[in-house]
Structure 1
Amino acid sequence: MDLTRAALLAGGAAVAGAINAVAGGGTLVSFPAAIAAGLPPLAANATNAVALTPASLASAWAYRRELSRDYRVLGVLFLPSLLGGVVGSALLLVTPQRVFDAAVPGLVLVATLLLLWQNLRRAKPSAAPSPAADPGAERFALPSRPWLVFLLQFLVSVYGGYFGAGIGIMMLALLSSFAGDVDIHRLNGIKTVLASLINGVAALAFLFAGAVDAVATPIMMAAAVVGSLAGAVVARRIEPRKVRWFVVALGLTLTAKLAWDRFGG
């Protein structure tokens, strides 16, 4: 592989790792980079899923302090994430990609608008917090109907196993819908653990099917890990409100990009 193709793969994966650590949507950088480097679409998609899995784990490690409070929520969402990842990866291997991709812009837009609504709610004036309060001590308000959250996380995970662009935004929107005033960095930590599970299941399926490029994978994997660690460190130093609005802006950008790729190109 020549240096230009290797640079495309490494650069796209590093940026994707950083974006996924903050919000999600990195696939919209790494997948086109893999295509530009000469990989066929299916191989690019499969290789991307394998390469980003260790990056998700690296991001989860960077958020280990926040995750120490949220094992209960992870326990609720673990099974639907696992099952959805299995179903989504199987769909990619047996059905035409264009069938599912046609719905992608709408899915990402709905998730982004949900997060926007959450941001506007948080922007309303409220009582000032106590100076002695710990901003990370809030508890998740688990929903009274956990089956609904189970179903929604399963559907998000099916999409993640199939392609995954914007999955982080979808999970942040879902978590925000029942999290109360939980800090965005804690939501990011949960999101990265679930994303690594979904990507990991899909990666195993793609490896088993022989759909992964053996040369591009290690290049993208190493670059994505570096990018994810850097992204997680930077994200934790930013004011949570700014991270939330960045996620909304990123979601709208991804929606426009996906819509253009599917219907305008």
Structure 2
Amino acid sequence: MPEILLVLLAGIAAGALNSVGGGGTFVALPALVAVGLPPVTANASSTIALVPGAVASGWVYRREIAPVGGTSLTALTTVSVVGGGLGAALLLTLPAASFDAAVPWLLAFATAVLAFGRRLSRTISSTLGREIGMSPRAVLIGQFLLALYGGYFGGAVGIMMFALWGIGLGLDAAVSNPMRITQIAAINLSATALLLVASDALSAPLVLGAMFAGALAGGFTGAHFARRLSARLLRSVILTTAVTMTVLYFVRG
């Protein structure tokens, strides 16, 4: 029961974080590893369990979805679905040792994007003297690479979307958040379709169910309260969590 409670609380926190700014995997993955799941299984379980939170958040924001960089919702979602499925296939195909070795570096990369993405965007815009404008094709290519990463690992993929759209299109995070949540749901749903069949995530149904329920509650609640939270405080919490988990994974490795 203590382990199930830990996973439930981690699911609530992860769903809430993803609904507002991203970083839920930084909470979900370590919690699943802590209760005894192998890293690859934990990552697959995390992807599956966080789907309901993303869908619930997307439902809350459904009337506020705005186009990104001239691309349609259909085109962007199609790219996310294809990339998410291919990323999940890579997770299942590559040796487990490859994932174990990659996790700390993936966490470090995601943390760096979170910490310096906004500053980089401002620096590039200031240097060029104008906002950067990506073409629709470039947006779709970037989204495919993010979806591939999201299906394989998923840690801070939502944060990276903020970074890509902010740096490349000058989009405000608040404006792009509804579309970001929709695309995370598309990536996770596509990856989940494969992981449910081909991974051993269902080998621990109680653990998966607890995180599933927690993520659903956290995603729905977090989306409703997103506008009431201090963006600076939330970003600080996510960054602190990301740095802590990155350090722990490097020490553990």
Alignment of 1:55-70 (within 5 A): 55-67=53-65, 69-70=66-67
Alpha-carbon contact 1:84-1:157 (below 8 Å) kept: yes
SS of the residue aligned with 2:50?
helix
1:256 deviation in Å?
Answer: 5.3
Q: Per the alignment, do residues 264 and 84 of structure 1 end up closer, same or farther by CA in structure 2, a change over 3 Å counting?
A: same
Q: Per the alignment, do residues 207 and 172 of structure 1 end up closer, same or farther by CA in structure 2, a change over 3 Å counting?
A: same
Per-residue CA distance 1:63-110 (angstroms, 9 max, x = gap): 12321x438543342232122111110111011313543541453145
Q: Equivalent pairs: percent with the same residue?
A: 33
Per-residue CA distance 1:181-220 (angstroms, 9 max, x = gap): x553331111111111111111111111142132222221
1:237 and 2:228 are equivalent in the alignment:
yes
1:184 and 2:173 are equivalent in the alignment:
yes
Distance 1:163 1:41 in 2: 11
**For residue 56 of structure 2, what is the amino acid of its counterpart?**
A
1:55 deviation in Å?
Answer: 0.7
Match of 2:77 in 1: 78
Quick check: which one's helix share is greater? 2
**Which structure 2 residue ranges, 5 or more long, are not aligned?**
126-130
1:226 deviation in Å?
Answer: 0.6
Match of 2:128 in 1: none
**For residue 147 of structure 2, what is the amino acid of its counterpart?**
S
Match of 1:172 among 162, 181, 189: 162
Match of 1:127 in 2: none
Q: Per the alignment, do residues 42 and 98 of structure 1 end up closer, same or farther by CA in structure 2, a change over 3 Å counting?
A: closer
Match of 2:245 in 1: 257
**For residue 209 of structure 1, what is the amino acid of its counterpart?**
A
1:143 deviation in Å?
Answer: 4.2
Deviates more, 1:48-57 or 1:34-43: 34-43
Per-residue CA distance 1:125-166 (angstroms, 9 max, x = gap): xxxxxxxxxxxxxxxx99452222222211111111011111
Match of 1:126 in 2: none
Alpha-carbon contact 2:134-2:169 (below 8 Å) kept: no
- Count matched residues: 241
Alpha-carbon contact 2:107-2:155 (below 8 Å) kept: no
Match of 1:114 in 2: 117
Q: Give the greater-gyration-radius structure (CA).
A: 1
1:10 deviation in Å?
Answer: 0.4
Alpha-carbon contact 1:66-1:185 (below 8 Å) kept: no
1:177 deviation in Å?
Answer: 2.4
* TM-score, length of structure 2 as denominator length: 0.83
SS of the residue aligned with 2:246?
helix
Q: Per the alignment, do residues 216 and 108 of structure 1 end up closer, same or farther by CA in structure 2, a change over 3 Å counting?
A: same
Alpha-carbon contact 1:116-1:248 (below 8 Å) kept: no
